[in-house]
Chain A
Amino acid sequence: MTELRIMRGREWSRPVRPARREVLSALPELEEGRPPLLFVPGFGHGAWAFAEHWLGHAASRGFPAYAVSLRGHGGSEPAPEATLRAYAHDVVQVAASLPRQAVLVGHGAGALVVAHALARYPARGAVLVAPVFGGWGVLGAALRRNPAGTLPAVFGGPLRLNRGQLFSRELPDEEARRHVGRLGRAGRRAQWALLGEPEAEPAVGSPPVLVLGSPDDRVVPASTLTRVARRYGSAPLLFPGMGHDLMLDARWAEPIDAILDWLEKEPAPAR
């Protein structure tokens, strides 16, 4: 990993332009002192993807749960020229606005955004769900499964993921179509950034990191899961039979329960 960077000339002289952000939340009825969770959706998805099941479920187990729509997604301000840095800025801004030190949960390319945000915000912990960290392997897999939806993205067009990539067969067709219909697109510069496999700076405050995904994910190969988990010194937690969108798929409760169990078990850092 790269070294801790103190000189941040570009961030000082060219700060990210603010954008209006959508933040959805579900709060437990009783404040139990648990760390807040901030869910970060992947490219094309908005905060709605977590509002569907995970936010409410986390709140019912006593965790204040928030989800942000990255700029240009969901109900946030349109931002066709958004960069990965702008997305990470959005995440850090929301995290720092929460009452207490937050756990960042990123899905898909949102996990890469979280990895970058971790270098700018000392999170209480981080969870990377089906992380898309970019690189030609991911592009190859996407081109094989869905050439018509992927190829335009290479030339700056929208990336269109299809039902087969995102969900397992267990999810009712109607529901799957509804979700796919809500997908938007990420900025083209951010999409291109995925090809360069941008390495994140090391996380500040050394938070514990959990990586989870599905071996049957048609977007993220199992080898990628292992590689990402190894970077954070662990092994991935696997949920066979599920599609890429673990938070929307038929058995959505299993991964979120695993995350919350991990947070309950993970010895709270002594701070």
Chain B
Amino acid sequence: MSTSTDHGRPDPETTPSALSSDGRPVSDRGDTVCVIGAGASGLTAIKNLREHDFGVDCYERETGVGGAWNWRHDRSPVYASTHLLSSKPFTQFPDFPMPDSWPDYPHHSQLLSYFERYADHFDLRSHIWFGTEVIRVEPAEGDRWDVTTRSTGGYGPERTSRYAAVVIANGHNWSPKLPRYEGLEEFRGEIMHASSYKDPAQLRGKRVLVVGAGNTGCDIAVEAAQQASRCWHSTRRGYWYAPKYVLGRPADQVNDTLLALRVPLRVRQWLYHWTLRLTVGDLTRFGLPKPDHRVYETHPIANSQLVYYVGHGAIGPVPDIARFHPYAVELADGRQIDPEVVIFATGYLPRFEFLDASVFADSAGAGRPTLWLNAFTPGHPTLAVAGLLQPDSGLFTLSHWQTVLFARLLRARRDRPERAAAFASRVRERAGERYSGQVKESSRHWFEVGHADYLRAIQRALHDLEAK
């Protein structure tokens, strides 16, 4: 494995050939495209842009590839036991399969080695500036972008380069979202966000309350069931817990058999309920709340073990938290419990602190840009966001096709400008479009997409861009 700077990456020309809006020198990188982040989406952006003959400078604040999946990175949310939630065919890049010898649901360390091999196989590292963070991205004339960088941690001088286009692939699972509760400051126990949960040893022999029924919350609840002396699992509502295997095969593969046949949602929901009835049955008899929605209306939870441990009494389902007391937690139903450790598996929010909120028309600054295909910004034809998606399946296939589409759009800007203009007007018309069925309104579902609906939309966009 090669590390940060041992590749002979040439310095960008240092002769300032332009000045930025506020008079700083800018080195012009010509037709080169800037990619922010060398995680999964950033890597596939580099590869696909290179494949379409674009020069690429990628800036990565850490010293290795893999982004969130690299446990060495301080922003990585993975914990020791993290495994994939979607099976291999849905998770791998569509043109670089994972080895046949790997299990259906690989471990996070296998995923990191997959990204490292991807980077080496396609010789991507020579395009990446490791240990460099992007602090500003500003529009310049002619739809170009001034990108200001410096060494991670704020050391060294700032440097501004001008690029023909920018791909933002900074990830959206690193800035913890913490709910507010009355009395939280007075609570004497330990409080952590799931992002700092790394190993079940942190729970051994303790009384643990896990908050949140996302996939992470359920995973941690299962580990607490195995290690802690007591485990409560607090959820706002009832959910559908999907097993990882049904009918002898990975559950997502079975589901996609139905999708491929274009079985209507209602029928799929009915089949799903029926399958659950055949296995775990009615969850309310375990004390779990009844789901207030139909299946497929919230982000799917793939966890075969949660219900198993609830059935063993090792996980105690409890409702929402009402308030904290110094030595106890009061629940919405008035009960009081006395955990020593509270883990908030309450998710993450995206952040684009290097970008002015006006670029994304996100006046509230809440981190929810208005985009078409969750990637393209109205009025900024040379800016794309990669991987800002919360699919009901693997993400990397989706970011692969996003970046292929962006590379072809940039090529069309050069070769067939009328097509690129038509694309830009579609971006303006359709920004904010959704690609999933009805989902519960929550920041959890801002970027929720159904992989089949989403990929069909990308396929159509590619077709419209390139059809004769």
Binding site for B on A (CB under 8 A): 3-4, 6-15, 18-19, 89, 92-93, 96-101, 120-122, 204-206, 269-271
Q: Which of A11, A18, A96 contacts B89 (CB 8 A)?
A: A11
| Chain B interface main SS type | helix
Q: Which of B51, B90, B120, B459 contacts A12 (CB 8 A)?
A: B90
Chain B residue nearest to A19 in the complex (CB): B100
A245 vs B58: C-alpha distance when bound (angstroms): 46
Q: Which residues of B contact A6 (CB under 8 A)?
A: 94, 401, 455-456, 458-459, 462
Q: Which residues of A contact B259 (CB under 8 A)?
A: 9, 13
A9 vs B393: C-alpha distance when bound (angstroms): 13
Q: How far is the CB of A152 from chain B (nearest CB, A)?
A: 32
- Contacting residues of chain B (247-287) with chain A, CB-CB under 8 angstroms: 252-254, 256-257, 259-260
Q: Which residues of A contact B50 (CB under 8 A)?
A: 270-271
Are A18 and B101 in contact, CB atoms less than 8 angstroms apart?
Answer: yes
| Chain A interface main SS type | loop
Binding site for A on B (CB under 8 A): 50-51, 53, 88-90, 94-97, 99-101, 120-123, 252-254, 256-257, 259-260, 401, 452, 455-456, 458-459, 462-463
Are B452 and A7 in contact, CB atoms less than 8 angstroms apart?
Answer: yes
Q: Can you name 5 extra interface pairs (CB under 8 A) apart from A13-B253, A13-B260, A121-B96?
A: A8-B94, A9-B257, A13-B259, A19-B100, A205-B95
Chain B residue nearest to A3 in the complex (CB): B463
Q: How far is the CB of A5 from chain B (nearest CB, A)?
A: 8
Chain A residue nearest to B394 in the complex (CB): A12
Are A14 and B253 in contact, CB atoms less than 8 angstroms apart?
Answer: yes
Q: Which residues of A contact B99 (CB under 8 A)?
A: 93, 96-97
Are B120 and A99 in contact, CB atoms less than 8 angstroms apart?
Answer: yes
Known A-B contacts A4-B462, A6-B458; the reply to A100 vs B121 at CB < 8 A is yes
Q: How far is the CB of B8 from chain A (nearest CB, A)?
A: 13
Q: Which residues of B contact A206 (CB under 8 A)?
A: 51
Known A-B contacts A6-B459, A7-B456; the reply to A121 vs B95 at CB < 8 A is yes
A187 vs B260: C-alpha distance when bound (angstroms): 27
Q: Which residues of B contact A10 (CB under 8 A)?
A: 260
Are B458 and A101 in contact, CB atoms less than 8 angstroms apart?
Answer: no
Q: How far is the CB of A1 from chain B (nearest CB, A)?
A: 13
Chain A residue nearest to B460 in the complex (CB): A6
A122 vs B89: C-alpha distance when bound (angstroms): 17
Q: Which residues of B contact A99 (CB under 8 A)?
A: 120-121
